[in-house]
Amino acid sequence: MIDSQSFLLNTKLISYSEMNQIFVMHSYLLELRTIILSNSCSSSAFYKYWTKNLPPMSITPKVKQLILLNASYYIYGLVDSLLIPLSVGNSLEYLHLIFQCPDRTYMMFITFLIQAQISFHTMIFEIEKDWYCDREVVYSSLSELKNLHWSSTVQLTLTIQFPFEMIFILETNAIPFLEHLYITVEQEQLRINPYLDAPPPQIQFCESDIRQMTDGTRLQTLVLRHLALYNVIILIRSFNMPLLNKLTLVDIFDESYTRFDNGS
């Protein structure tokens, strides 16, 4: 679909033949504000055309929003071929990627993005299915979170593996302008070596580490999903959030009832 009023290009609704016609509509491409990609043939054709014409800003200098409905389809080369050039152009403000589940592909993308040290005003990394990883299965590692530095991000939606990884996100200067944070925790139970072959983390989700390492002075919105009640209490007690005006808790559970039901 081509919306000439809002300058939106939804490649999912465009046939392959129609997409070939768009490639010669240079004046329209120059005015595009929003681009939506899926895993369709037309989307793939546009993506190849877009990344082939480097830098991508040369054909879409005004694009502000990029939405990938099937992000796993584009994972290899997405950061280097598209996101890094778009970050240099300073036009892209809104990045929304939708993954089917928090599997290895999702973890790899987050790692690539952290290593590239690029960021945008709003970054939404959405998990499509309401599904949590088997505690005995670790698809990949988010150990790169310890090197996090997203200097442009104000709003972030992210799924992490363990509660302690939240400290990496909230650490002083990691995301210095963060105001709105939406976090889902996949595995509440911390395993002995959460990162398999990587060295174990030197931090814990405890009041002392949260007080010493984090900075929430700019945070206005905090949404926490799938977190044990005692960890919620630890965070509220120790995390300084003077500007917070909205705290939302989703799928919070009390493990004390679980232990009681199991007879322990």
For 166-218, write each residue's pLDDT tens digit: 999 999 999 999 999 999 998 765 555 566 566 667 888 999 999 999 999 99
Q: Both 170 and 68 in a single domain?
A: no
The boundaries of the domain holding residue 5 are 1-92
Residue 126 token pair: 């959405």
Number of domains in the chain: 2
In terms of domains, do 151 and 74 share one? Answer: no
Residue 203 covered by a domain: yes
211 belongs to a structural domain? yes
Q: Are residues 81 and 20 in the same domain?
A: yes
**Chain segment 32-50, per-residue pLDDT in tens:** 999 999 999 999 999 999 9
Flag whether 21 is in a domain.
yes
**Among all chains, which residue has been given the structure tokens 């931090």?**
203
**2 and 112: one domain?**
no
- Asked if residue 1 lies in contact with residue 8, where contact means CB atoms within 8 angstroms, the answer is yes
**Co-location of 87 and 111 in the same domain:** no
Q: Are residues 54 and 117 in the same domain?
A: no
CA–CA separation, 135 and 189 (whole Å)? 8
**Based on the domain organization, do 262 and 151 belong to the same domain?**
yes
Taking only Cα atoms into account, the Rg of the chain, rounded to an integer number of angstroms, comes to 20
| Cα–Cα nearest to 244, from 223, 214, 213 | 223
Q: Does 257 lie in the same domain as 157?
A: yes
- One domain for residues 57 and 178: no
Q: Is residue 102 part of a domain?
A: no
Length of the chain: 264
Residues 60 and 83 in one domain: yes
How does pLDDT run across 151-172, given as a tens digit for each residue? 999 999 999 988 999 999 999 9
In a shared domain, residues 115 and 242: yes
Q: What are phi and psi of 204, to 5 degrees?
A: -135, 155
Band (220; pLDDT cuts 50, 70, 90): very high
Q: What is the pTM of this model?
A: 0.89
